[in-house]
Structure 1
Amino acid sequence: MARFLFTTWEGGGHVQPMLLVARDLAARGHAVLVLSDPCNAPDAAALDVPFRAWTTAPFQTGKSRDDDRLKDHEADNPLAVIQRLLDRVMAGPALAYAHDTLAAIDAFAPDVVVSQELLLGPMAAAEARGLSLALLAANIWSLPTMPGAPPFGAGMLPAANDEERGMHAMVGQMSRTFFQAGLPDLNAARAALGLAPLEDLFAQLDGARAILLATSKAFDFAPEPLPAPFAHVGPYLADPAWVQPLAPPPDDAPLVVVSFSSLYQAQEPVLRAIIAALGQLPVRGVVTTGPTIDPAEFEAPANVAVVRSAPHGALLEDAALFVTHAGHGSALRPLMAGVPLLCLPMGRDQNDNAARIVHRGAGLTLPADADSDAIAAAVRCLLDEPAFRTAAQTLGAAIRADEAARDAAAVLEGLAP
């Protein structure tokens, strides 16, 4: 039996996959402990995963829009988003995260520390204790450290020629430079831990013996073969613990499911436009607002139900279309059910996920400020043209195969003494 300490933070869709990996290790007879925000304790309890809350590091006790400490929807450019990540997650609180991680290490005595890829503090804590470190990314890789991958954030396709490869390299280097603003804070934390300073913020990731991408190889644009220490381990997706049951609206009309981020991205305007668009069409609509938005804020026509949550796994069995911001889980789960998507990305990894969907012919993309007429036209197109569903079924079958072969637990076992 080995012992695995997982560290993550309340950043939306990456929490549930880490809990699922921890559960798999526990089922294989290992001891696990997840260190995260108090608001994630119910999700851990639902999977019977031992849990410990951050106390010194920043933490959230709830999942409302007021609880969100990143508030990246208030940033008006990519550089401002990076600065918020550095100040509020990656570098500014690195020492606080390290202190909490060291306390958990001393109490739990893990053999391996598994960190979410943005938490530099726990990585430094593992280094200070001389422990094996792995990173677990529950999405496509978001940092400018993977050679040969399209730059993150803009929805770029794989480079097809030298000119595009040069453009990708330039954009990646610019992004890498922007992140160096967090280096003084990280080095201050390292000094407090008795560690030598780094010349590059991303050198902190070099201590990872494995970087696990909990996404589908069939979905990703990553280079083949992946450079070490990266490895695709398959998607880990499930309904979170806070989801409530809901029966689909009765009727024979096509079912359109709408879901945007479980975090707050100021998505009220786009949800209103989608609701108005569905009201123009002979469809049944189910709109889930998530924990950060009250369904009572929306007026809906008779053919559209607006609820806080619903079991997407069950709804997708009957769905004809999924309308989404294209977060990682919201992109893969419809595809795995063979359902095409209409994507209205709002930032983060969403442009990149949407690009992968559209490139494979499994959906369409509109800007997040599209009006209801444009959304209605796109919905009609996706429902009327069978090629979209065929492409979604083809891609979905490959993603399901990657899910069936997922092996994060086996890879992590190989890191234990």
Structure 2
Amino acid sequence: MRVLFTTVPLHGHFFPMVPLAHALRTAGHDVLVAAPVNFTGVITEAGLPAVPTAPPLNFAEIMIKDRNGRPVAPAKSAAERHEIAGRAWGRLTARTLQRTLDVVDRWRPDIIVSEPSEHAGALAAASRGIPWIEHGWGISTMPECRPPAADELAAELSGLGLTALPEPDLHLHVCPPSMQRPHAPGSRNQRMRYVPYNGPATLPDWSLAERDRPRICLTFGSILPRFGSGDFRGLLTRIATALPGLGTDLVVGVEEQIAAAWQPLPPGVRSAGWLPLSLVAPSCDLIVHHGGSGSTLTALAAGLPQLALPQTADQFDNAACISVLGAGRQLLDDVTVEAILAACRELLTDPGYRKHAAALAAENASQPTPAEVVEVLHELTSTLV
């Protein structure tokens, strides 16, 4: 079986698909991952073969400018956030569609697996009669973004003889059932255990050393420290400086060029730089993050309480879900250093949060493995082709 994966050039969208891609290769199937050329290095670092679908694409340009280069007005509501994101994914699809079609026609995959924001793979599958799987990356796949994406892609859809974005032959969900948003009526669904992958990594020696103080991990992913609104870097610095005041060790996961500006590191900070979250989380007692799907589900897999400070997109869904299920807290309006310290103190001292986090970790571990899902995909292609 030949399986083509397609992804937008974002770590948090691609990383959840890596375990399934490796499971397919281990089972003897051919795998290829398609993305803009400036993301192919991330794919090959994951040990997977890549094929470019577009020249280098500037993510910020795609998000903040329309097709004519005009600035996109900032969102003032959740509906506007979905509109802006959906249209951005539509613009990205328009840039990658032709090359994706060429890859499909020449490589001839038996099945296409795409993450929810990458529509070129779905369009290629629909137009070429190939089974298509939507591989989720978190609690929500943001279906609210699909209508504006379809509107943005009206010309491309028409050119392929399509009237709407196609529905997948299978939705693949990678979060525990208790966290999942309701499915679309009549949709076919398959669950899979979330297996954290955060990029190539070496286990830090200090993560295995004995310790006599709680350890907090602070991370805000790969996008917000670079593109976050307002004085986001300043807030991150203030949080990192204040947290050791709780009598804890602090591990900061942030890109090296940002961490370099903090030298010398604030007292009590154990490390700074790009950290392998899946390897570091089990050695921590609490994670403070932005509510990104990768951070949320990696912490969940480790049974770790969380404090989420959501900023955009599905981060609000992730933060709310963790809070409602008692595995952590979220801060929305009162995002001050004082409020963060108070929330961290509560999360470290109330054992109920760790109890609920452990229950979610166990629920995740009970889901089908990527290897088991490979058999599901094989059976699916046999019945659909």
Instruction: Give the TM-score, by structure 2 length.
Output: 0.85
User: 2: CA distance between counterparts of 1:301 and 1:116?
Assistant: 39
Correspondence for 1:384: 349
User: 2: CA distance between counterparts of 1:410 and 1:377?
Assistant: 47
Correspondence for 2:284: 319
User: 2: CA distance between counterparts of 1:5 and 1:246?
Assistant: 37
Q: CA 1:181–1:260 in structure 2 vs 1: closer, same or farther (change >3 Å)?
A: closer
Correspondence for 2:10: 11
Q: CA 1:349–1:185 in structure 2 vs 1: closer, same or farther (change >3 Å)?
A: closer
CA RMSD of aligned residues (A): 2.9
Correspondence for 1:282: 247
Correspondence for 1:191: 158
**Residue 371 in structure 1 maps to residue 370 in structure 2:** no
What's the offset of the Cα at 1:184? 4.6
Matched residue type, 1:341: Q
Higher share of residues assigned helix: 2
User: 1: CA distance between counterparts of 2:26 and 2:377?
Assistant: 14
Q: Deviations over 1:105-133 (max 9, x none)?
A: 12211111222222223322222212222
Correspondence for 1:70: 63
Whether the 8 Å contact between 2:196 and 2:301 is mirrored in structure 1 is no
Overall identity of the aligned pairs, in % = 25
Correspondence for 2:57: 59
User: 1: CA distance between counterparts of 2:291 and 2:205?
Assistant: 22
User: 2: CA distance between counterparts of 1:405 and 1:116?
Assistant: 16
1:205 aligns with one of 166, 173, 180: 166
Whether the 8 Å contact between 1:6 and 1:35 is mirrored in structure 2 is yes
Matched residue type, 1:296: A
Q: CA 1:116–1:303 in structure 2 vs 1: closer, same or farther (change >3 Å)?
A: same
Whether the 8 Å contact between 1:21 and 1:236 is mirrored in structure 2 is no
**Residue 233 in structure 1 maps to residue 233 in structure 2:** no
Matched residue type, 2:199: P
Correspondence for 1:115: 114
Matched residue type, 2:278: G
3-state DSSP of counterpart to 2:11: coil
What's the offset of the Cα at 1:295? 0.7
Q: CA 1:39–1:242 in structure 2 vs 1: closer, same or farther (change >3 Å)?
A: farther
3-state DSSP of counterpart to 1:76: coil
What's the offset of the Cα at 1:30? 0.9
What's the offset of the Cα at 1:51? 0.9
User: 2: CA distance between counterparts of 1:71 and 1:402?
Assistant: 38
3-state DSSP of counterpart to 1:382: helix
3-state DSSP of counterpart to 2:171: strand
Correspondence for 1:220: 180
User: 1: CA distance between counterparts of 2:301 and 2:121?
Assistant: 33
Instruction: Return 5+ residue gaps in structure 1 as ranges.
Output: 61-65, 145-174
Q: Deviations over 1:235-263 (max 9, x none)?
A: 13212126784634985211111111222
Whether the 8 Å contact between 1:34 and 1:51 is mirrored in structure 2 is yes
2:216 aligns with one of 256, 280, 283: 256
Correspondence for 1:126: 125
Instruction: Return 5+ residue gaps in structure 2 as ranges.
Output: 66-71
3-state DSSP of counterpart to 2:165: helix
Correspondence for 1:172: none
Size of the aligned set, in residue pairs, is 368
3-state DSSP of counterpart to 1:14: helix
User: 2: CA distance between counterparts of 1:341 and 1:181?
Assistant: 32
Matched residue type, 1:231: Q
